[in-house]
Amino acid sequence: MTATAQRSVVLFSGGIDSTTALSWALARAAEVHALTFDYGQRHAIEVRMARLAARRLGAPHTVLKLDLTAVGGSALTDPAIALPRYKKVPPLKSGPPATYVPFRNGILIAVAAAWAEARGFGEIVCGFNVIDSPEYPDTRPAFVRAMEKAIAAGTAAAFGGPAVRIAAPFVRMRKSEIIRLGLRLGADYSRAITCYAGAERPCGACSACLLRARAFAEAGTPDPLLVRLSQGGRR
């Protein structure tokens, strides 16, 4: 991919999708900044690992602290809500799962848009995808389009200033397809934390762990995180 004059900020949780998004942005944009949110999530280790991953890629990285524990309503931010555990990938339901954080991505995009506008970044890159997890309402194409319209209406773009667009390049891809793309781009998944339980080593029983295991199996490649941990955590 040819680099452009675009300046991109990547919503970088440090998981598989955002790790791929960061590699994707680095391959095409002239300037890239990784933006991570410490929002009170149960799996806060992802913030520490995101710092390490961004440093290894040489990408400028900022951590912004928010407190979504005051919002509640999710097993990821409220310790009183049990984290669901399964033996296999759970069947899809008609409503959001217990691990849905109410309007989290809307809040994060809004803050990222303010951060981007203040610094002249024209694009927010998100690793959203809905094929494997369609029960999350704030990852869908309609949500992305609505947020982009809200940003255009509520920033200097409303007066003819530069617009901040949202790129969600993987929104219609399976997680295994995202992994294959990331590997072609040189993404390092050895420190990409997915598990909701809060440890570096996957619990193997939360929905995120089960989806991750299935995706690497479908991609036909060993999980680099498990490979690294089997070697004593080196690399």
What are the angstrom distances between the C-alpha of 212 and each of 69, 96, 106, 112, 173? 26, 19, 24, 26, 14
Angle between helix axes 207-219 and 175-185 (nearest 10 degrees) is 60
Map tokens 């309007």 to a residue.
103
Instruction: Quote the pLDDT of residue 64.
Output: 98
The pLDDT of residue 92 is 82
Cβ–Cβ under 8 Å, residues 56 and 44: no
Helix (H, G, I), strand (E, B) or coil at 10: strand
Instruction: Give the position of tokens 């319209």.
Output: 149
pLDDT at 76 (0 to 100):
96
**pLDDT of the chain, 235 residues: tens digit per residue:** 333 448 999 999 999 999 999 999 999 999 999 999 999 999 889 999 999 999 998 999 999 999 999 999 999 999 999 999 999 998 888 889 999 999 999 999 999 999 999 999 999 999 999 999 899 999 999 999 999 999 999 999 999 999 999 999 999 999 999 999 999 999 999 999 999 998 899 999 999 999 999 999 999 999 999 999 999 875 5
Domain boundary assignment for the chain: 4-230
Listed residue (27, 25, 67, 52) closest to 167, CA to CA: 25
Q: What is the pLDDT of residue 1?
A: 35
The pLDDT value recorded for residue 183 is: 98
Angle at 26 between CA 221 and CA 37, to 5 degrees: 85
pLDDT at residue 235 in the model: 55
CATH code assigned to 4-230:
3.40.50.620
